[in-house]
Structure 1
Amino acid sequence: MGTKKFNYSLVFLLSFTLFFTSCDTLNQLGGQFGLGTPTEAEINSGLKQALEYGTSYASDRLSEEDGYLGNLAIKIVFPEEAQKVENTLRSIGLGNLCDQVITSVNRAAEDAAIEAKPIFVAAIKEMTITDVRNILLGQNDAATQYFENKTTSSLESKFKPIIETSLNKVGATKYWGDVIGKYNQVPLVKPIETDLSKYVTQKAIDGLFYEIAKEELKIRENVAARSTVLLQKVFGYAEREKAGSGI
């Protein structure tokens, strides 16, 4: 009798475990196969939800200390036309001055990054259902391209005065002037003139779009990144549609 009770208990325990394991598996697959076709309203809401999260996350992350400086993919370094300046100054023992320039321009970009959030929110609100569908069923960087087209001008206008103020605050303008002044004093070199605030503004925006593209790719390719049932349903639908059309 004791053996039978033990066997029944074991069977019940195994069944209980298998049931919940199956539920977990179905939940994971649900985003792609089990949630049906979303309505236009769900597509509109789901995509905008994903974009607002992705752009806000990128903006928040880059606005933190070392958001730019600590990210080798987007760290702002000397402009191309001034690479020779940096190499020359480091070779004559002025590497610390070069490091001060690099640190200060990245701090300026970090100061500006948080200001991107309301600009992206406004661009998302302006999306038509056609924009939404084109982004959802488009290439893996379709949303990033949309933001580049819609927000670059506004970002430049918003970022540049903040970056100019920050460059002055952290001493970058002075360091840059010192660097260029030292270099231009070297005999026989061609004088360098670079608009530092314009350069840093452009690189800050480039870095922001780089991070947004990463977030976009993550939610398109990683089921685990779809944190709500709505996102699972919308992006699962997009995967089926794109697979069917050969995109």
Structure 2
Amino acid sequence: MKRIILLFLVPAFLLSGCDTTQAILGGLPGSTDPNTQQIAAGLKEALTIGTQHSTGRLSAVNGFFSNAAIKILMPPEAQKVESTLRNLGLGNLVDKAIKSMNQGAEEASKSAMPIFKNAILQMSITDAVGILKGGDFAATNYFRDKTTTELTTAFRPVIESALKKVDATRYWNDVFTAYNKFARNPVDTDLSAYVTERAISGIFHEVALEEQKIRKDPAARVTDLLKKVFGNTQGQ
């Protein structure tokens, strides 16, 4: 019996000399491995930095229009329309419509950050650990799964307002009014829904690029916490 009691007392004595909570979390003194709270904080910090950079770039003048990877063009179902209009000498009309769609996406991107911040705050420690140990785009994919519906709901009215502000709706109507004069099958495309989807897709594309920088490039880990958390993922 004395031996059993001793076996329980020795570990308790060893733990009494350090922060018990820290020990439970794996953050023992001298350890270079991040504990679960640090992992969660690091992921939230990374996502905050990534989304700030992404939305900042995309909400700038020509943020979408000058970025070949995410520039919003005519929808696939409207490509024949575009080709026909250009052949009819109406290319300038098409160009104005495309420019306006991108300006609408740039305007909407200004409202994305508060939504991202809210989603980041709601991330659990379990989510964070899973993301850290997940694939190269685990954080972006998590973000996409958790926020796309909310972003779409929030973006749609902003996009509609932005499109009206830059006359995109008028240009779009002009394009299809002109096309439908010559078409057997008139085209009716929801411009706001299309631009909203492309705007959100563009943001996640940029967030993914930021995630890759932090995961792969030590120079992109601009804080000590990011260095500690992401530095320990290399080689895993």
What TM-score comes out, normalization by structure 2 length?
0.85
Secondary structure of the residue that 2:134 maps to in structure 1? coil
| Number of the residue aligned with 1:127 | 123
2:217 maps to what in 1?
Answer: 222
* Counterpart AA for 2:213: K
> Aligned runs of 1:46-65 on 2, under 5 Å?
46-65=42-61
Asked if the contact 1:58/1:208 (under 8 Å) is kept, the reply is yes
3-state secondary structure, aligned to 2:234: helix
Correspondence for 2:132: 136
1:54–1:212 contact (8 Å) kept in structure 2: yes
**Structure 2 partner of 1:208:** 203
Mapped partners of 1:192, 1:57: distance in 2 = 37
If asked which structure has higher relative contact order (CA below 8 Å, sep 6+), I would say: 1
Q: Distance in 2 between matches of 1:99 and 1:35?
A: 58
The code of the aligned residue for 2:194 comes to Y
TM-score, with normalisation over the residues of structure 1? 0.81
**Aligned partner of 1:39: which letter?**
N
Pairing of 1:1-247 with structure 2 (within 5 A): 36-186=32-182, 188-240=183-235, 242=236
State the AA in 2 paired with 1:211. Answer: E
| 8 Å CA contact 1:35, 1:233 repeated in 2 | no
Aligned partners of 2:118, 2:128: CA distance in 1, in Å? 14
In the aligned structure 1, how far is the partner of 2:213 from the partner of 2:31? 20
Secondary structure at the residue paired with 1:178?
A: helix
1:114 counterpart letter in structure 2: K
Kindly tell me the number of residue pairs found equivalent between the two proteins. Answer: 207
Partner of 2:19 in structure 1?
A: none
Using the TM superposition, give the Cα deviation of residue 57 of structure 1 relative to its aligned residue in structure 2, in angstroms.
1.0
Matches of 2:45 and 2:165, distance apart in 1: 36
Unpaired runs of 5+ residues, structure 1, are 1-33, 243-247
Q: How far apart are the structure 2 equivalents of 1:40 and 1:128?
A: 10
Confirm or deny: 8 A CA contact 2:58 2:203 kept in the other structure: yes
CA contact (8 A) 1:160 1:201 kept: yes
Give, in angstroms, the shift of residue 189 of structure 1: 3.2
| Distance in structure 2 (CA, Å) of the matches to 1:182 and 1:215 | 42
Which consecutive unaligned segments of at least 5 residues does structure 2 have?
1-29
Q: Which has the higher helix share?
A: 1
Q: Is the 8 A contact 1:36 1:233 kept in 2?
A: yes
Cα distance in 2, alignment partners of residues 35 and 229 from structure 1: 15
SS in 2 for 1:86: helix
What do you get for the CA RMSD once the two structures are aligned? 1.3
